[in-house]
């Protein structure tokens, strides 16, 4: 009887939403899976790429959006559940082709910058989406794609970016220039990131996958120093001062060292002693992310 009641309740809620859309003309995004079809060298006949969504239940007319980019080998359908702490955001988790995002050395050669731009265009059709408040949060390989989106996409497409591990690499920034990706999967088109975005970066000092202090890491990527990477983005956003030295970083909470530029527009945290996955420091890192995207 209880299962029957829950089924009827779910059916009625769905029916009421659809009925409201018909009566008011509003188009409302629901918790669902939608697809974006693309074609490229690995999928010349077209490939339907899945995007998972979860809608809050707080009853607001419009919700901010958090687009969540999993790490290498990740699954969007489970990754989305790691962000339930963002309980007033529409959660959107696209699936990377071959469980990766195309940053030169990955297995996927999919046009991921265009994919995320198309996902955002789709979301902006819905009346319960706050189109002025879209954040993108990436982890590891997903953070590398966030960096690329900051380099290539127009500032009006999304507002805030969070990189949870993975600073810039030398495909993306070298010779004092940011590089966009060309049609042949080469990072050889000079680019200037759009100003006005807010950026949060977090990295562990003991990370061996994307070495915190720079150098060769996973798949032989060459990474920039994580603090220098944040400073580069701060300069791109208009900062004209010097890079913040370690002895000027603010420790709050314990073992989280904060480097803040442009009155908090660009923030970097060094998680002292943490590795690639943050381990026991993940809960505090999540709190910082939640505070950043909800209060900026």
- Domain 32-295 sits in which CATH superfamily? Alpha/Beta hydrolase fold, catalytic domain (3.40.50.1820)
Name the residue among 175, 89, 168 with its Cα closest to residue 129. Answer: 89
Q: Are 239 and 232 in contact (CB under 8 A)?
A: no
Domain parsing of the chain, residue ranges: 1-30, 32-295
Render pLDDT for 15-30 as a digit per residue (tens, 0 to 9).
Answer: 444 444 444 457 999 9
The predicted pLDDT at position 14 comes to: 45
- ω into residue 253 within 30 of 0, thus cis? yes
pLDDT bracket for residue 57 (50, 70, 90)? confident
Render pLDDT for 187-226 as a digit per residue (tens, 0 to 9).
Answer: 999 999 999 999 999 999 999 999 999 999 999 999 999 9
The predicted pLDDT at position 11 comes to: 39
Taking the model in full, what pTM does it have? 0.91
Dihedral pair phi/psi, residue 264, rounded to 5°: 90, 5
The predicted pLDDT at position 25 comes to: 56
């Amino acid at each position: 009887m209880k299962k029957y009641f829950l089924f009827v309740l779910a059916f009625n809620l769905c029916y009421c939403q659809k009925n409201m859309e018909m009566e008011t003309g509003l188009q409302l995004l629901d918790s669902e899976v939608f697809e974006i079809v693309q074609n490229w060298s690995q999928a010349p006949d077209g490939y339907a790429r899945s995007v998972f969504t979860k809608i809050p239940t707080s009853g607001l007319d419009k919700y901010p959006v958090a687009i969540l980019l999993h790490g290498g080998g990740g699954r969007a359908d489970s990754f989305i559940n790691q962000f339930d702490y963002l309980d007033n955001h529409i959660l959107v988790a696209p699936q990377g082709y071959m469980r990766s995002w195309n940053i030169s050395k990955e297995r996927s050669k999919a046009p991921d910058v265009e994919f995320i731009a198309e996902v955002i265009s789709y979301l902006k059709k819905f009346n319960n989406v706050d189109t002025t408040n879209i954040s993108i949060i990436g982890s590891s390989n997903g953070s590398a794609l966030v960096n690329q989106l900051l380099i290539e996409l127009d500032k009006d497409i999304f507002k805030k970016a969070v990189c949870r591990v993975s600073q810039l690499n030398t495909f993306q920034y070298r010779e004092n220039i940011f590089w966009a990706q060309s049609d042949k999967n080469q990072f050889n088109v000079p680019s200037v990131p759009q100003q006005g975005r807010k950026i949060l970066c977090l990295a562990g000092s003991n990370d061996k996958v994307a070495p915190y202090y720079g150098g060769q890491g996973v798949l032989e990527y060459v990474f920039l120093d994580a603090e220098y990477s944040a400073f580069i983005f701060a300069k791109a956003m208009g900062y004209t001062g010097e890079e913040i030295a370690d002895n000027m970083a603010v420790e709050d909470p314990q073992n989280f060292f904060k480097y803040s530029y442009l009155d908090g527009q660009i923030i970097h945290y060094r998680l002292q002693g943490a590795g690639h996955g943050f381990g026991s420091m993940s809960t505090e890192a999540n709190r910082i992310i939640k505070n950043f995207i909800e209060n900026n």
